[in-house]
Amino acid sequence: MEQLVKMVWMRAAICWACCVPSPAHAAEVLRFRCTLLDGSVRIVMQDIALEFAQAVRNCEPVAAMRVPAVPLPLVNETPIKSLVSMPAPPALLPAPLVREAPKPVDTLVRDASRRYRLDYGLLSALIQVESGFQPGARSPKGALGLMQIMPATAARYGVNSPQRLLDPGVNIDVGARYLRDLAERFGGRVELVLAAYNAGEFAVERHGWRIPPYPETQLYVRRIMAMYRPR
C-alpha cells in the first residue's frame, strides 16, 4: 500500500508540474480499482492516498484516462470564504463525501472544540480526512489515532505512550491542543494551520509563511477546506 501511495503522489506531482489551463492540452490520470475493507469496490483517481488510505484492502491500477489539464490554484492565494465554495477540477479533486462522526467520537470532538476554542466543523473535517473516524488508525510513517498524531508531537503535551495516544479522548485532546497552538502561531490563518498540521510548522515558515509546494500538502488543505462547514 505504501508503494501505491508513493506512486500516486509521484503521478500527481508530474501532473501538477505539467498541467496548463489550455483546452488543447490533456493530462493522463491514473485510475485504480480498489477493494475497501467493507468489501465494496471503487474506481478512484490520483488522490486515493488521502481519501481511502485508511479504508483500502488492496488496489490495482487500471487503464489511464485523458482529461483536460486544469492546474490546482494555490490555496494560500485564495480567500477562505471563496475557497469553501470553489468547485474543484473533478479528475483531480472529486467532491468529498462529508460524513458525520460516530456519536462517541462526535461528543469528544465537540468537547475539545469548546475547550480549545476551535471550530467544530473544522476539527471534524480534519479528523475525517486524517483517519476516517477510525480510532485505531496507524500510518506507515507512525502517526496514530483519530487525528494521526506523531508520537514526537504527542510527547510535547506529556503523552509518551503509543497506547495512550490511541485512546480517542487523549488523541483528540492532544490534536486539538496542537491545532490551537498552530492557530496562535500562524495568526488564525486556517489554511496555514492545516498546512502546518500536515507538513510541520517549520515547513510553512521555511516557505515564507505560505503553504509548502508539496502536492500532498496542497491537496490535504484543499480537501479539508472543501469539507469544512463552520459550525
Question: Is the Cβ–Cβ distance between 207 and 201 less than 8 Å?
Answer: no
Buried b / exposed e over 188-209, threshold 16 CB at 10 Å, is ebbbbbbbbbbbebeebeebee
Grid coordinates in use for 149?
498524531
Is 205 designated active site? no
Question: Is the Cβ–Cβ distance between 130 and 148 less than 8 Å?
Answer: yes
Q: Which of 130, 184, 191, 201 is catalytic?
A: 130
SS3 42: strand
Q: What is the 3-state secondary structure (H, E, C) of 111-154?
A: HHHHHCCCCHHHHHHHHHHHHCCCCCCECCCCCECCCCECHHHH
CA atoms within 13 A on the CB side of 180: 15
Neighbours of 100 (CB within 10 A): 10
| β-bridge pairing 56-68 and 26-36 | antiparallel
Q: Which residues are identified as catalytic?
A: 130
